[in-house]
Structure 1
Amino acid sequence: MKSLQLEVVKNDRLYMKVAEQLRKLIETDVIKPGERFPSERELADQLGVSRPTVREAMIALEMTGVIEIRSGSGIYARKVKSMSTLLKDDSGIGPFEILEIRQIIEAEACALAAERISEEELVQLKQTLREMKEEEKREDSSEKADQRFHEIIAQSSQNSAIESVVSWLWKLRNESMLSTAFLARIRKEGIHPSISEHQAIYDALAARDAEAARQAMKRHLESATENAAKHFNK
C-alpha cells in the first residue's frame, strides 16, 4: 500500500478536517479516481485519529459523491468535488462518536436503573417496546420509541445529570445532518434498532439485576455500532 502524505489532525470537528484532507488527495491525484482507499485502520494510524472519526469522514465524502463504496470490494475515489456547503455548516457530531459516548454513559445508567426503577417506569418501558415493534412495521419508522426507551432508563437512574446527558446525546444525534442522513441511509439498507436487544435490557431491569442490565445495554450499543459499520463493508 502506498505511503500517503497525511497530516495529524487536531481540531474539534475532526471528521470534517479528515474528509477535507482526503478529498484533497484526490484533487491532487495522490489517489486517482477509481483507485481504492487504504483501510480504515491504516488511515486512522496515519492521521492520528480514531477509527470512528475516519468512518464519519467517509460518510461525509460519500454523501457529497467524492467516494464510492463498492460491495465486497472497498472504498474508491471518484472525480473530486468540493465539500457540500450544507455539510461544512453542519456543527453536529457524527453517529459513531455519539455511539461511543453512549456506550460509556448508558451502560452504567442502566445498572443504576436496575436498582432504582419504579414499577410505573417498567410499565412505560414495556409500552415503549410495543411501540417499537409497531414502528418497525412502517417504512418511515422514526425511531421515536427507541429514543423514548433510552430516556426512560436514564430517568429511572434517578440521577438528573445522567438524564440530562442522555437527552442531550439524542438531541446531538437528531440535530446533526451527518448523523441523520447516515442513519436514514442504513435504515434503507435494513439496519434497524434490535427489538430483541431492547427486550433483553427490559428483562434485566425487570429482574433488578444491575450487572445483567449493564451488560445488556453494553451489548446493544456495541451491536448498533457494528451494524452501522457494515455500511462500509456491504
Structure 2
Amino acid sequence: MKNRRLFWTIVERIESLIDSGQYPAGSRLPPERELAENFEVSRPTIREAIIALEVLEQVEVKTGSGVYVLENPKNKNIHQNISAFELTQARALIEGEAAALAATTISEEELIRLNQTLTEMEKGANPEAADKEFHLIISTATRNSAILMAVNSLWTMRETSPTVKLAYKGVCSQSDVKRLDEHRAIYNALQNRNSQAARAAMHLHFNRLINALFEASEAKALEEVRRQTSQTRDLYSLSHLVS
C-alpha cells in the first residue's frame, strides 16, 4: 500500500519540476538511477512513476534514448472542454464504486487516516486539502491502481481546468457542515465494511454538489438576464418624457 502511494508522490514531484521549468518541454529526464537517488526511492518506484506520467501524457518514453517531457501534454488541453457537471457526474460514478470496493479492502491504518482528515475538515484549517486526501485514501484502499489513477486524473481536472475551477469557486466552501456530515457518513459505511452504504453515501455527497452547481449556474443566468433587462429598460425608457 505504501509503495502504491509512494510512486504518486514521485509523480507529483516530477510534475512540479516540469511546471517550474527545471525540466522544460522537449528536455530529457535524468536516468532512472539518478532519479532514484535524487528522490531517495527504489528504481521500481521510479519506473511506476514514469509509467503514470506517460499515461497522463506528461512524458514520452523513447526506447534506447530516454524519457522526454512532452511539448503540449494532451491531458491539459482536453480539460478545457470538460464542464463541472460532466466532471462531477464522472466522479460520482467512479468514486461511488471505489467506495463500495474499498469497504471490503480498507485497512485499519487507512481508516485512522480517513478519520484524521475529518478532524482537519472540522478544524477548517485547510479543508480542501483534507477533502482531497479523504478521497485519495479511499481510492488507494481499493488496491486497484487503475481506479487510483482515474481518480487522480479527475482531481487534476478539477484543479487545473479554468472552467471547472470557476464553477466550483465558493460552491464547496458554502456548505462545509454538510460536506463534513457527508464525509462522516462515507467513513462510517467504510468502517462498518458496508459496500452498499458506502456507495450510497458517496452518491449522496456528489448529488448535493451537482445540485449546488446547478443552483449557482441558475443564479448566474438569472443575474445576467436582470442585467440585460436593466440595460434594455434604460435604452428604451420614456421616463424623461413623462417626468
Q: Give the TM interval when normalised to the shorter protein.
A: 0.5 to 0.7
Give secondary structure in 2 for the equivalent of 1:162. Answer: helix
Distance 1:172 1:202 in 2: 25
Distance 1:233 1:194 in 2: 21
1:151 and 2:140 aligned: no
CA contact (8 A) 2:85 2:210 kept: yes
Partner letter of residue 102 of structure 1? Answer: R
1:160 and 2:149 aligned: no
Find the partner of 2:197 among 180, 201, 212: 212
For residues 71-96 of structure 1, give each alpha carbon's deviation from its aligned partner in whole angstroms, at most 9, with x where no partner exists. Answer: xxxxxxxxxxxxxxxxx997352211
Distance 1:214 1:174 in 2: 24
- 2:183 is aligned to 198
Structure 2: stretches of 5+ with no match in the other structure? 1-76, 220-243
Q: CA deviation at 1:182?
A: 2.1
- 1:98 is aligned to 87
For residues 159 and 89 of structure 1, do their structure 2 counterparts lie closer, same or farther at Cα, with a shift above 3 Å needed? Answer: closer
Give 1:16-35 correspondences, 5 Å limit.
none
Partner letter of residue 127 of structure 1? Answer: Q
1:227 and 2:216 aligned: no
- 1:128 is aligned to 117
- 1:108 is aligned to 97
Whichever of the two has the greater Rg, that structure is: 2
For residues 153 and 197 of structure 1, do their structure 2 counterparts lie closer, same or farther at Cα, with a shift above 3 Å needed? Answer: same
- 2:54 is aligned to none
CA contact (8 A) 2:120 2:127 kept: no
For residues 92 and 123 of structure 1, do their structure 2 counterparts lie closer, same or farther at Cα, with a shift above 3 Å needed? Answer: farther
Q: CA deviation at 1:132?
A: 1.2
Structure 1 stretches (4+) deviating beyond 6 angstroms? Answer: none
Structure 1 length-normalised TM = 0.56
For residues 99 and 106 of structure 1, do their structure 2 counterparts lie closer, same or farther at Cα, with a shift above 3 Å needed? Answer: same
CA contact (8 A) 2:100 2:195 kept: yes
Q: Which has the higher contact order (CA 8 A, sep 6+)?
A: 1
For residues 3-51 of structure 1, give each alpha carbon's deviation from its aligned partner in whole angstroms, at most 9, with x where no partner exists. Answer: xxxxxxxxxxxxxxxxxxxxxxxxxxxxxxxxxxxxxxxxxxxxxxxxx
Q: CA deviation at 1:186?
A: 3.0
> Aligned residue pairs: how many?
142
Partner letter of residue 159 of structure 1? Answer: N
Q: CA deviation at 1:230?
A: 1.2
Q: CA deviation at 1:207?
A: 0.3
Structure 2 length-normalised TM = 0.54
Distance 2:168 2:136 in 1: 19
